Structure 1
């Protein structure tokens, strides 16, 4: 193929080639081959070179990342090469078809690297801000990688996520896929309970529970429905393995995981692998992360977890949003300006019944802003006669104190959603397994510990100063010299305390929305059990 190099440049400009490949950036593709004087990148005459063999293997295995091999022309490639490829393998094609094969591999590389490097779905379609998450690089940047020297296999691995959670989810996907291949029709018969089941109680679903957890059937007819000690211990072990509170009570979260079938779990892993690819790389030593479905906060320094604590997140009707912002400091003894939704839905009905409610709660009412703001007397206001417009013009501010729902500490993290991390004056919810209970902000179980983490690099700061600030009961902001990134994340599958993969609840139905977008744009595929060809997971 002495003249094949120049021919690549001519061939890839033809309308038929552009249409067949749906070229993402024709100019970038032309420039790439022009820099190579038109010579192929993937072929030595009519044989695959080493990088082609590596690329085809990556395409074949892309399902293990939750990606669809068909996005990267797998069927077209496998039809020519077969499922097993190696460097030097001859491609039985004429020159024109070889050039088309060359361009197919280039297009596959572009799409693969882009999909591994950022969001495959428009952020706006998911209610997210694109600037907060990794976006796919442009085609020219991807093609520039092919001009770099070095091992191609290492290059390809460098664009694939390498984090511990990502690798654990990949391993779980492989395990579940093998089980699915053995019996694609296998389904889990749901265990149904209207309310939590405590040890010692009876329920018609107990025999099904015993079967699900691998316990023998109880022979005594009178005891068959009793939630006995053996089953309680099996449930506790199951809860511990799944990262749940190991109390033996069969509640909504335990039932949710028990009732998941293989197809559900495979899809759940795929959407979480997708989200993990969105995570930007931070150059700061400290990062704070909150996972909303697990209601857990982590504070990391130099990649090491320094703090892990339960938090309270927004209930489904007032869901906490996912976004990135930066911590700028800590406010001690904060006041609280009541958000409009809470003001309208929670407080106004109470004011109509009892105008003294605001006085009892230490709240002040302001109309207007700045020097023109006026303080209103709640006892002298006819709340029932107030129009919606008049009520919206008011600001309700709760002064620092025991009634203040922000407690003694608020983390300063400016964002347009008015969502922040804070202490609370109501601590009973932290013991619950279902901690989606707030109005949108995030309540901290150990606010002093997080405040110390945030302020530890501030010169002259100490635990004694923090205690003195809290004791003063005066509102004071302590700013930090370098901001700390904070992420509010949405992962419904994560690593549990024993290293196991935990399948959490889709508390805000975000998994469902992302799955629909991925299925529409890309499809959800895994290998079947007879060969390496991929098959769609049917609805």
Structure 2
């Protein structure tokens, strides 16, 4: 049969009328791609034309998957549908309608392959801040024409995709976690544990057998601890391990927050992992050798040099009403003993009510009104003013340097239009909290002086002395330092331990909705390469 089929195809080509010869196919393809639209509708299937225009233009609009190549094209489609779920992508997003004619199917095969390479490389959703992204400008470029050229020439799919997919260890660890939660989901996941009063160590409760079964499924509890209605020592330790993985105070008790985390389904955790794989795809092809990364949901800071974490610390990030924006920016300088110009919103909402109750509030907090009362010292400190007359704070307000300054004694300037920076804080008690989304948007650092010494090493021996004298000094960095304010609610350690955090700002929820919506390319992404017509 394998010898008969080629002869049949040749005979058919000889007998077919002229409009179906390869030259006519090329004309049909050229006509399709000449449409001045980013999306071309083929039947009910929207095709992202900008992904394939350059590829077909290079080959004079001849089909890529005709004759003997058709079977290879179909095989490549089967391969990418098999690969997609392992990358947190939907296999059904890469199907091609069977009813498509030969010329349209050629276009659809190429577009589907190019779209998969694009989605794998830089993500399916545009990385806006609303979904926890840092903008399209930091994403890697994807050359769709080269990918298609290599595949059409017979290059192995995996060899073609390796250079374009994320190379980060964090991405590949999270892929292992995806596989784990996929298996848990396929096995039926776990049954929700009934609500009720908190269970403390040593207590008995009818729900504890279900808790034991739940913890065994994710590896916190050994199989030989499956029985028992008492929160005994082994179960307490298992609960503590679970709490540590989920950013919960590891007290070993099953309170409201722990119970809620236990009851998040395996399917929902799977979607959370897939969403965070998408965020890795939004990152540059590689990070700067020296950089700072702050994970906002984890309220965690790392200074990385040559791939090694030189410094890590807790941070305080913006609360839900004052969200810290995700961004990729640069640090340019360090300010010792900074002043703080109070934002108008804080002056109105927080300071004005305090002045109505205590007119000496500004004086006692080292603050001064700017510009309006240069020659009247008392009024510059807010004294003698009827604050009840104002519904909005009417002046500019600044806090002098000092230990009680809201920025603490060290500030790290970032290049951005959001007035966001890293800084010290006099409220040191916040770093002892597990939940640290407590600021007005800026990132507060647990060990700012130590960080300043590392970033300005030539001045490190003077920093301690400078911090004490209340004189404001600005120290320029030798070169700008890249800073990533990231939003990762799931990640995996080197040993495979998977961590989850709450969706602090709702970015996960919006991203999951967007990923579900983009099962087909109804709305094309921003083009990464200029179209060549």
| CA deviations over 1:419-472 (Å, ceiling 9, x no partner) | 21111112112122111122211111111232233224xxxx142122232133
**How do residues 66-465 of structure 1 correspond to structure 2 at under 5 angstroms?**
66-73=88-95, 76=97, 97-123=101-127, 126=130, 130-134=135-139, 141-147=143-149, 151-153=155-157, 154-183=159-188, 186-192=189-195, 198-200=200-202, 206=208, 208-213=210-215, 215-218=225-228, 227-240=231-244, 246-251=250-255, 253-281=257-285, 284-367=288-371, 376-388=380-392, 391=393, 393-456=394-457, 461-465=458-462
SS where residue 383 of structure 2 aligns? helix
Distance 1:245 1:261, change over 3 A: same
SS where residue 396 of structure 2 aligns? strand
Q: In 2, distance between residues paired with 1:380 and 1:201?
A: 60
Note the residue ranges of structure 2 that are not aligned, 5 or more in a row: 1-9, 14-19, 217-224, 521-533
SS where residue 480 of structure 2 aligns? strand
SS where residue 48 of structure 2 aligns? coil
Contact 2:52 2:144 in 1 (8 A): no
Aligned position for 2:527: none
Contact 1:296 1:309 in 2 (8 A): yes
Distance 1:144 1:6, change over 3 A: farther
Of 110-119 and 473-482, deviating more is 110-119
**How do residues 44-55 of structure 1 correspond to structure 2 at under 5 angstroms?**
45=68, 47-49=70-72, 53-54=75-76
Distance 1:232 1:383, change over 3 A: same
| CA deviations over 1:188-225 (Å, ceiling 9, x no partner) | 3145367x65535677755643453354554xxxxx5x
| CA deviations over 1:293-313 (Å, ceiling 9, x no partner) | 111011111222211211111
Distance 1:30 1:405, change over 3 A: closer
Q: In 1, distance between residues paired with 2:207 and 2:352?
A: 45
SS where residue 274 of structure 2 aligns? helix
TM-score normalised by length of structure 1: 0.79
Distance 1:252 1:320, change over 3 A: farther
Shift of 1:180: 2.0
Matched, 1:12 2:29: yes
Contact 2:121 2:165 in 1 (8 A): yes
Contact 1:295 1:311 in 2 (8 A): yes
Aligned position for 1:88: none
TM-score normalised by length of structure 2: 0.80
Q: In 2, distance between residues paired with 1:163 and 1:485?
A: 17
Shift of 1:187: 5.0
Distance 1:7 1:451, change over 3 A: farther
Q: In 1, distance between residues paired with 2:310 and 2:129?
A: 35
Q: In 2, distance between residues paired with 1:135 and 1:513?
A: 23
Matched, 1:504 2:501: yes
Alignment RMSD, CA only?
3.4
**How do residues 458-537 of structure 1 correspond to structure 2 at under 5 angstroms?**
461-496=458-493, 498-522=495-519
Contact 1:9 1:34 in 2 (8 A): no
